Amino acid sequence: MREKLKALAELQKVDLEVASLRKAADVHPRQLAELERELGAARSAIEAERNRVADIERQKTTLEQNITDEKDKVKKWEARLAEQRSTREYSALAREIDIAKKANQTMADELVELSKTLGAAREAVKAKETEFAARQEQLSSRMAELRGKQSQAEGQVKTLEGKRSEVSARVDPTLLRRYETVRKKKLPAMVGVVNGTCQGCNMNVPPQLYNNLRVSLGTDVCPSCNRIIYAIEALETPAEK
């Protein structure tokens, strides 16, 4: 019976190693996702700045065209001044020209301010692009490191799964079926009983059950947590007793 327990204990050791590796590796996808979100947010920030620059450029182009159109209009009106035969018509056209010139001057002032705003926006884009490039290099390095760890963990798990197949073949089929049933719900699935206490749930087992385990050196089921239990003496060599 001792050999059966040892075989199952070895199998469980492999399963615990696999579970530990998978738990440790679970953090890698989350960390990768967080880094990708950070990169995405940084890209969106740059794109927003670029869109702002493009919008200002469109405003500037429109304003420049409006100024050109208004100047052309003033030139045509000024050419028509000499053609006016009545003082009233002359005064009315002169007033329109004056209004147009003032509007042009206002738009010219707006164009100056808009040009300054555009220059500042372009500088902001350059600064963000430089900052993003540096941050992207850092994050890409970290992401590559995480992917490497994830790949390493997957390789270790694959190796252990191969070992598990070999070890499980040495476990008593009946005991293995019981173990697999419990393992699906909780791990460790098999625990020792020390001084009458189950090491899985820390509850005391009935004294008679504990005595039977010590005498038979076999296994049973914990009444509290339903794990497979055994007396720790069952895995001790005679020299260790």
CATH number at residue 160: 1.10.287.1490
Q: What pLDDT is recorded for position 53? A: 95
Q: What pLDDT is recorded for position 115? A: 95
Are 214 and 115 found together in one domain? Answer: no
User: What is the pLDDT confidence band of residue 241, given thresholds at 50, 70 and 90?
Assistant: very low
Residue where a domain terminates, one of 138, 168, 198 = 168
Are 116 and 218 found together in one domain? Answer: no
Q: What pLDDT is recorded for position 31? A: 87
How many domains, the chain? 2
Mean pLDDT of 84-104: 88
Which tens digit of pLDDT belongs to each residue from 142-178? 889 888 988 998 899 999 999 999 999 999 999 999 9
- pTM here? 0.58
Pairing of β 228-231 and β 190-194: parallel
Write the burial class of residue 101 (CB in 10 Å: 0-12 exposed, 13-18 middle, 19+ buried).
Answer: middle
Residue where a domain terminates, one of 116, 144, 168 = 168
Q: Write out the residue range of the structural domain in which residue 72 sits.
A: 2-168
Mean pLDDT of 131-139: 88
Are 108 and 139 found together in one domain? Answer: yes
Are 43 and 76 found together in one domain? Answer: yes
Rounded Cα gap, residues 223 and 102, in angstroms: 96
> Which distant-in-sequence residues (6+ apart) come within 8 Å of 67 by Cβ?
104, 107, 108, 111
Are 178 and 164 found together in one domain? Answer: no
Are 117 and 180 found together in one domain? Answer: no
Rounded Cα gap, residues 44 and 57, in angstroms: 20
The percent of residues in the chain predicted with pLDDT above 70, rounded, is: 98
Are 129 and 187 found together in one domain? Answer: no
Q: What pLDDT is recorded for position 238? A: 55
Mean pLDDT of 54-63: 95
DSSP 3-state assignment of 204? strand
Is the pLDDT at 239 greater than 60, yes or no? no
Are 150 and 213 found together in one domain? Answer: no
Are 99 and 135 found together in one domain? Answer: yes
> Which distant-in-sequence residues (6+ apart) come within 8 Å of 115 by Cβ?
60
Is the pLDDT at 240 greater than 50, yes or no? no
Is the pLDDT at 14 greater than 70, yes or no? yes
Mean pLDDT of 72-80: 88
Residue where a domain terminates, one of 168, 188, 217 = 168
Is the pLDDT at 28 greater than 70, yes or no? yes
> Which distant-in-sequence residues (6+ apart) come within 8 Å of 30 by Cβ?
none
Are 19 and 112 found together in one domain? Answer: yes
Are 115 and 183 found together in one domain? Answer: no
Are 183 and 222 found together in one domain? Answer: yes
Structure tokens at 227: 């794990």
Mean pLDDT of 111-135: 92
- For all residues of the chain together, what is the average pLDDT? 90
* 1 or 41: which leads in pLDDT: 41
Rounded Cα gap, residues 21 and 159, in angstroms: 12
